[in-house]
Structure 1
């Protein structure tokens, strides 16, 4: 049985040094909190900036134009989900996915920066992209099927970055699926060029060169590698914003050589209504599907 030799009021060891060390730690904590330099404060500031509400452009003629601020949405396919269940359901948007190191940034995000598929379908700085000309087209001109363009983030906290991709290699590929990586860069080479392709392959040649309508299902194809932008719902990423899905550039074909739902995108524009954020949120007539074609 141990015998207690000191009562609680007895100071032992380097008690004086420990006392001063605790005081210094408290003083340092209070100074950082006053300056907003605590990790939790920086993380909160980052989320506040990237989740700031964004205003999407309103298309008066129903078409996409250079200079438009849009949101890229991968819709849920209820038919495929019933036959081939996915661990993650719902609609997903292409979103900026900053690394943990970005928490320490004060002015804006820097390249390289990742992207992911977020379940947040409300327009914000994370998921708003500007359609940018690469061939000299003026702002306001319609975007046509098969025409090269770039997608860049806004010029505020998200840092004016371009969506880019390149062929996968031993040293460079997506984290989970190890397919062709998609990310954001501050450069503007040919790797940042994309094209809108008509969804139905049988009608694709007839639509080449025609203006692209907004808020309809299309394919987004990387100009250099000819791979479609894809959302991989079975590959989960843990981000600063929670559980999200991986984005890659890879064309998924079914048995009829038709692109699957992983490659389907809706380029969403703003809604002129005061109570609805986007055209995707507008209630649709029961006799029409998302592409505007009548259902049987």
Structure 2
């Protein structure tokens, strides 16, 4: 008598374990989706957090002060495109990491990832002007973890990924490696401006105190980030044939100032004519 040893309804192998594994995988997926732990959910949450609008500080006297919320922009690159430095988390998760990278973006809007706070090193109070040659810290805002801009000498295992220049990152602990200073952009007048207040929205050179290298945008190197492909930021001095810093080393502390488009000043009508006498009724009617 012939007996069929196999048909489609026969289960072979570890069929029960396979069913349990599929059920466990589905349960784990549903649990992670419920808690917002999926990669796509983390990416969306990260973008929504980092791209929140932030207001810059208002400089009423035209200077940069300690405690100001500023934005670092490189306005005069070789391709005449403005770049801004921004926080780039190494993991697509929350902003609770102790170390992050810095990249250059073409987006020059003041958002959470692109604003920094100027903090003093010598104990200067908030509101005092920052001066050329004075050491300071560049810190992220409270929502981004109060991380400090950091750099160190190039080593075999510690350098920028693409350019192999001095790496720039954000760390949580303050040290001599997180201290920076501002230099005048024109080397011919640099000594004359030593000790003078730093003007807002003007070209400056940002130099690392320990290594004496300047903050720069690496226009030749694009890296992939959670925010898209952006330019690498390094600490390297680019000199031209006249031994002067190139445009990729020139930055501005972007602030709001009275009279610009961000912080306009209301126009006041004058009650006195050009000769100094009060206006007549006819001139008043013409002005109306």
The alignment's TM-score, normalised by the length of structure 1, stands at 0.81
- Select the residue among 163, 178, 182 that pairs with 2:164: 178
Cα 1:30–1:61, aligned 2, differ >3 Å: closer, same or farther?
Answer: same
Q: Which runs of 5+ in 2 are unaligned?
A: 265-288
SS at match of 1:258: coil
Give the CA deviation at 1:122.
0.8
Cα 1:273–1:46, aligned 2, differ >3 Å: closer, same or farther?
Answer: farther
Match of 1:109 in 2: 96
The alignment's TM-score, normalised by the length of structure 2, stands at 0.83
Return the alpha-carbon distance in structure 1 between the equivalents of residues 206 and 198 of structure 2. 12
Contact 1:98 1:109 in 2 (8 A): no
Contact 1:123 1:277 in 2 (8 A): no
Return the alpha-carbon distance in structure 1 between the equivalents of residues 93 and 123 of structure 2. 37
1:121-153 Cα distance to aligned partner (Å, 9 max, x none): 111111110000001111000011111111000
Q: Which runs of 5+ in 1 are unaligned?
A: 82-88, 280-296
| Number of equivalent positions | 259
1:270 paired with 2:261, answer: no
Give the CA deviation at 1:110.
2.2
Cα 1:241–1:12, aligned 2, differ >3 Å: closer, same or farther?
Answer: same
Contact 2:84 2:114 in 1 (8 A): yes
Match of 1:146 in 2: 133
Between structure 1 and structure 2, the one with the greater Rg is 2
Return the alpha-carbon distance in structure 1 between the equivalents of residues 258 and 228 of structure 2. 31
Match of 1:294 in 2: none
Return the alpha-carbon distance in structure 2 between the equivalents of residues 11 and 69 of structure 1. 70
1:225-248 Cα distance to aligned partner (Å, 9 max, x none): 111100001011111111111111
1:46-67 Cα distance to aligned partner (Å, 9 max, x none): 2221222111101111110000
Cα 1:17–1:110, aligned 2, differ >3 Å: closer, same or farther?
Answer: closer
Return the alpha-carbon distance in structure 1 between the equivalents of residues 49 and 96 of structure 2. 10
Give the CA deviation at 1:109.
2.7
Match of 1:288 in 2: none
1:179-213 Cα distance to aligned partner (Å, 9 max, x none): 11111111111111111111111111111111111
Match of 2:57 in 1: 57
Match of 1:256 in 2: 242
